[in-house]
Structure 1
Amino acid sequence: MEVFSLDFALGLLPLMLKYLHVTIFMSVLSLVFGLMIAIIVALIIQTKIKIIYPITKIYVSFFRGTPLIAQLFFLYFGLVQMFPSLKGMDAFTAAVIGLSLNASAYMSETIRGAISSVDKGQMEGALSIGMTYLQAMRRVILPQAARVAMPALSNNFIDIIKGSSLAFTLGVTEIMATAQMEGAAAYRFFEAFTDVIIIYWGIISLLGYLQKKLEIKMSEGY
């Protein structure tokens, strides 16, 4: 058997690309939900709301301090034993929830740091003209913080995409799962995972390019 079969690698690429939409859809959903949670967590930590503040600190510490794959297994295989009602949850949903919670812990710190970088006088000025705290955050602080946070948030999205490759361990059929199955069937793991690397590298390179364009666009007014 030859060391590397180019024909097999090229023939497998179209099959793997058929499941690219699963990876992208999973990643985008995880980004949206993760960002929503991250903003809420960041605001709670920033304002140090009693009772909820220590809970959010533990939340961030837990998801930043444990492996993503362990979190996915805990969510999909572990919690079902404690809450039988979760037995109906499919692997895709579990993967999205796990990726969202994990990403939100990292993004919340990014957003909190970006909010802290905005001059405190901005908030004081907004409050002095009659805005509520939430109005000031939405209209004044967060738009400025978004520009500061954008590079790190883009990197968080890249991490989500790479982390989505672990979804195959739950049974989600996506790029990594296809590589695993086809590679095992033909005993061609080298070619299969070479395709995986090329596909993910291409996706991340494209996102890196779009990130630079977005940063330039957001900096035009400053």
Structure 2
Amino acid sequence: MNEIEKMIGWLPALFDGLKITLSLSVISVISGLILSLFLALGKISKNKILQKLSGAYIFFFRGTPLLMQLFFIYYALPQISSVFTIKSRFIAAFIAFTLNSAAYQAEIIRAAIQSIDKGQFEAAKALGMTHAQTMRLVIIPQSYRRLIPPVGNEFIMVIKDTSLVSTIALVDLMKRTSQIQSSASSALVYIPAMIMYLIVTAIFTYVFDYLEKKFSVYE
């Protein structure tokens, strides 16, 4: 069997790992985006307590390595109390990636909101809108277009960062690649694995570029 046939034979197993990689990336970024909206609003809130709590959250998750956060959630929390034991590796990875992604996306959303002309706030206030109504009806709907490029970059980064979950034995694309490399005693498995990463990132880069051009506020 030549090397090309070997690599083709590895594809089904690699695709199984790719499914985990994509599933984890998509749900983590979407969940993180939802959480990040509340964090961003908290950080720019006039309430000092919300500002401090949101700021502390963002500082912690941006200031510590994602790998360490993953280890803490999966390995350390159960030692603090059995209540925190997470048996599913996928759930543990999902929690770590969601919390981490939320911190980065919160800063993206905060910057997008604060980039809106202050005249919008004044106009809404003149119409008798409350601060909450202004944010919900005026500011946030205008902000989402500015979010597409940085959120797209965050998503691509998460896809690549999912390779870290192999350290807790979650069988993603990276872990599956390592297993094949070990059993087949061939490092050539990294070639199709890298091509898969490249194809996936290329597809999503194209999608986000398309969305950016379609909804861009800078046109």
TM-score by length of 1: 0.92
Backbone CA RMSD of aligned residues: 1.9
The alpha-carbon deviation at position 48 of structure 1 amounts to 4.1
Match of 2:99 in 1: 101
Q: Distance in 1 between matches of 2:47 and 2:30?
A: 24
Which deviates the most, 175-184 or 47-56?
Answer: 47-56
**1:52-100 Cα deviation digits (max 9, x unpaired):** 3222212111111121111100111011111211224411001011001
- Ranges of 4+ aligned residues in structure 1 off by more than 4 Å: none
Please state if 1:59 is matched with 2:57: yes
The alpha-carbon deviation at position 147 of structure 1 amounts to 1.2
The alpha-carbon deviation at position 221 of structure 1 amounts to 9.6
* Identical counterparts, % of pairs: 36
- The number of aligned residues is 219
Please state if 1:183 is matched with 2:206: no
Please state if 1:201 is matched with 2:198: yes
Unaligned runs of 5+ in 1: none
Opposite residue 148 of structure 2, the aligned amino acid is: M
Task: Check conservation: 2:146, 2:216, Cα contact below 8 A.
Answer: no
Match of 1:111 in 2: 109
The alpha-carbon deviation at position 112 of structure 1 amounts to 0.6
Match of 1:218 in 2: 215
Please state if 1:5 is matched with 2:3: yes
Opposite residue 124 of structure 1, the aligned amino acid is: E
Q: Distance in 2 between matches of 1:176 and 1:32?
A: 22
Q: Name the SS of the counterpart of 1:51 in structure 2.
A: helix
The alpha-carbon deviation at position 19 of structure 1 amounts to 3.1
Q: Distance in 1 between matches of 2:86 and 2:16?
A: 26
Match of 2:24 in 1: 26
Task: Check conservation: 2:116, 2:139, Cα contact below 8 A.
Answer: yes
Q: Name the SS of the counterpart of 2:85 in structure 1.
A: helix
Q: Distance in 2 between matches of 1:23 and 1:48?
A: 39
The alpha-carbon deviation at position 219 of structure 1 amounts to 2.7
Q: Name the SS of the counterpart of 2:44 in structure 1.
A: helix
Q: Name the SS of the counterpart of 1:118 in structure 2.
A: coil
Task: Check conservation: 2:32, 2:98, Cα contact below 8 A.
Answer: yes
The alpha-carbon deviation at position 103 of structure 1 amounts to 0.8
Matches of residues 52-201 of structure 1 in structure 2 within 5 Å? Answer: 52-188=50-186, 190-201=187-198
Task: Check conservation: 2:78, 2:86, Cα contact below 8 A.
Answer: no
The alpha-carbon deviation at position 193 of structure 1 amounts to 1.8
Q: Distance in 2 between matches of 1:79 and 1:90?
A: 14
Opposite residue 204 of structure 1, the aligned amino acid is: T
